Chain A
Amino acid sequence: MPPIPNGVPMSFYLGLSALLFVIGVAGFVLRRNIITVFMCIELMLNAVNLSFVTFANYHKQVAGHIFTFFVMVVAAAEAAVGLAIILTVFKNRTTLNIDEVDSLKN
């Protein structure tokens, strides 16, 4: 059995990030509620952010944190527009099921 390292191996962080990303993709594919699908996109963005912060630590540079910051800003903008779109869709079709929102015309 190898000795317990002092600190956390970087592959643990990257593996966690990959796992969260895949769970996000799974939710994105499997779920049918628009809001939940949208939340799974946020989950994927978060997983990528974890990679960025890990690489910032690896390279000892702040750039990874800046990327994370930009991802957060874009995610906030995306949430504002996306939720407004969801509200409009719900008003027009009274459903949140992604399968029922499949035609461009009513």
Chain B
Amino acid sequence: MMDLLFFAIFATVAVLCAINVVLQKHPISSALSLVGVMASLAVLYLLLGGEFIAMAQIIVYAGAVMVLFIFVIMLLNAGIEVRRGRSWMATIFGVPALLGLLGVLGYLLVRWFPDAPAIKFGDFTGGTAKEVGYALFTTYLLPFEVTSVLILIAILGAVVLARKELD
């Protein structure tokens, strides 16, 4: 029961915040709603037994990436979005297409996993920092090292872009 209750609360919060991300006119409101989505997803990760990944979600996503977004919005003093013509086309054709996409996704998910057991909190405890770290440094060592190179490249790219802007 408690599982279902927590899932219901935080899934509702996540969906409402996600809709808010799309509907809010001001980028800062969108960004904060996105932080709400990320925080409630972290709680769901905890329910799924991923304690390390839940904390990483908050530290990396909510604490670093989104702060960067807010920093840029504040720096550019981005205001309320201006609407122009032509975007009503997207609304007319986009919304039914999206509903279709949702239907297809939902159908496939239910079709592929009809007899999946219900998820109870505590029946999967393989998501501790120890397990994740062990897998990361044995089975997935090469991808891990490659991502570190990727991060290095991203840092260099960001510095180059920022420097060009200063000239």
Bound-complex Cα distance A79 to B65 (A): 7
Bound-complex Cα distance A19 to B40 (A): 15
Judge whether A66 is part of the interface by a CB distance below 8 angstroms: yes
- 1/0 per residue, CB under 8 A from B, across A4-16: the answer is 1111111111111
User: Is there contact, CB below 8 Å, between A35 and B22?
Assistant: no
Q: Which of A31-74 contact B (CB under 8 A)?
A: 31-33, 35-36, 38-40, 42-43, 46, 49-50, 53-54, 56-58, 60-63, 65-66, 68-70, 72-74
User: Is there contact, CB below 8 Å, between B60 and A76?
Assistant: yes
Q: Which of B138-167 contact A (CB under 8 A)?
A: 139-140, 143, 147, 150-151, 153-155, 157-158, 161-162, 164-165
Bound-complex Cα distance A26 to B53 (A): 27
User: Is there contact, CB below 8 Å, between A35 and B27?
Assistant: yes
Q: Which residues of B contact A43 (CB under 8 A)?
A: 18, 21, 34, 37
Judge whether A77 is part of the interface by a CB distance below 8 angstroms: yes
Contact partner of B4 (CB less than 8 A), chosen from A8, A10, A78, is A8
User: Is there contact, CB below 8 Å, between B7 and A14?
Assistant: no
User: Is there contact, CB below 8 Å, between B91 and A19?
Assistant: no
Interface size on B, residues (CB 8 A): 86
Judge whether A30 is part of the interface by a CB distance below 8 angstroms: yes
Contact partner of A74 (CB less than 8 A), chosen from B4, B102, B147, is B147
User: Is there contact, CB below 8 Å, between B84 and A6?
Assistant: no
Q: B interface vs A, CB < 8 Å? A: 1, 3-4, 7, 11, 14-15, 18-19, 21-22, 27, 30-31, 34, 37-38, 41, 44-45, 47-50, 52-53, 56-57, 60-61, 64-65, 68-69, 72-73, 75-76, 78, 81-84, 86-87, 90-91, 94-95, 98-99, 101-102, 105-106, 109-110, 113, 116-121, 124, 126-127, 131-132, 135-136, 139-140, 143, 147, 150-151, 153-155, 157-158, 161-162, 164-165
Q: A interface vs B, CB < 8 Å? A: 4-16, 18-27, 29-33, 35-36, 38-40, 42-43, 46, 49-50, 53-54, 56-58, 60-63, 65-66, 68-70, 72-81, 83-88, 90-91, 96-97, 99
